[in-house]
Chains A and B, each alone.
Chain A
Amino acid sequence: MNDSSRLSAHSARRLIARAAALSAIVALSVTVAAPRVQAMRHLKLLRSSPVADTALASSPDAIRLWMSEPVNAPISKIALATDAGAVITLGRLTRGAAKDAPLVASIVAPLAHGRYKVTWKAMSKDGHVVNGSFAFRVGAAH
């Protein structure tokens, strides 16, 4: 290897070393700063009313879902069905202006005693479509 090649190789190594050192410093800075920044999360159901897998003495007036981020009511879905699969008609899906306001679907006619399944679908801000389901019972189990 001549002097010129040796010098070139040395310059390249020095450049790569600098880039690596800079990368390490920034990566470390982000790690140190991270505790002050809550990580982003995908959308999920925080709680519901009726609470999943509970028995209610009487029919609820609505299904309420509290999500981990504000979701758009018009593109979200809540469906209610009996254990046998019969679909129950729900009112128009709404959501209050508050950041932690739940998605609400009113129950048009009081529910008869029995087991019901709620299915829901919503979209997070980054476009991930998330869905889920839970069950509840009206009246005591036979």
Chain B
Amino acid sequence: MLSMAVVARLLLYLAAMMVLGDACARWVRGEAWHSRPASRDGNGPVFAWLAALIALSLLFVLQFLALELAPTVSDVAMLARQTAWGNGWLMLAGCAMVGVIGGVARAPLTGRFLIAIAFAIAMGGLGHAAADDLAPWTSRALDATHVVATGVWLGTLFSLGRSPALPVWERFSRLAVIAAPLSVLSGTGSALLRLRDASLTQVIASDYGRLLSAKLVIVAVILAVGARHRRQLLARREPTVASVRFELLLALAVLGVTAVLTATAPPGE
């Protein structure tokens, strides 16, 4: 059950990165906010939104089975409408459906960007932040900032394609210089809130602590690779395809670790 939940969460995170990244990549390439994507651009975001819907459906089924609810309309409605988790799920599913419609209808860039942001913000409703009663807004704000900043940073890198022109790289680099620290800061803030009651020994000894350490190490390597790319761009040289692929591979590893991390209880409880 855990492994299926992890797969569903990974799919959800990938979808969020792709829809945010697609909108930002269009902006980085210089598309106007009111512009509609041309049909030759393909249906990448539509598939990403559909992937989000599949991931959400899987998460709902797993939750339903874990709670041993009866397969009736009333129990489905009860889980979706009468629980905080269900409300968060409904918001995400609603955003994903609007995203699919917006993608099929080739909505303007502004609309695509806004729905991607709304989806990223709603993702906090299914995570640890949803259980924070005393600082709910701080936790949710940190989670939303983390998802948005990571999507703008790594999602855009993914969506830029294999070999964008140097001016596009430079524009992305300026965006990443803001998004990357924001992603790290908000992630650090969330981790500190969750580990407040735990001693260092507890953190090191726990699965949560070990996963968090692995995530931090991979993020540090991504930052180092990104900094090298930034140096190359400042010297008017484009990063190599291999190097960008390596950075994206590490980003995928981070999403995988995060998917496991969100299903793991923090220590000190």
Contacts and interface: CB of A to CB of B under 8 A. Distances in A.
Interface string A30-48: 1100110111111110000
Contact of B189 (A4, A27, A121, A129): A27
| Interface bin, chain B | 35 or more
B193 A40 contact: yes
Contact of B85 (A30, A35, A74, A123): A123
Interface stretch (A14-22, A107-115, A133-141): A14-22
A77 B185 CA distance: 40
Interface string B215-236: 0000000000001001100111
| Interface bin, chain A | 35 or more
A23 interface: yes
Contacts of B67: 75, 77, 121, 123, 129
A74 B129 CA distance: 23
Contact of A74 (B78, B130, B132, B235): B78
Contacts of A121: 67-68
A35 B68 CA distance: 38
Which of A8, A35, A44, A126 is packed against the most chain B CB atoms within 10 Å? Answer: A126
Interface in B29-54: none
Where chain A touches its partner, the secondary structure class is mixed
B85 A15 contact: no
Contacts, number: 126
B192 A27 contact: yes
Given A12-B230, A19-B181, A39-B195, A69 B131 contact: yes
Given A40-B133, A74-B82, A128-B265, A34 B196 contact: yes
A46 B28 CA distance: 52
A5 to B, nearest CB: 5
B85 A127 contact: yes
Contacts of B227: 12, 16
Interface in B135-162: 135, 138-139
B131 A124 contact: yes
B202 interface: no
Given A41-B197, A129-B66, 16 more contacts: A5-B235, A12-B234, A19-B177, A22-B185, A23-B181, A23-B185, A27-B188, A30-B189, A38-B134, A40-B134, A69-B133, A121-B68, A125-B85, A126-B84, A126-B131, A127-B63
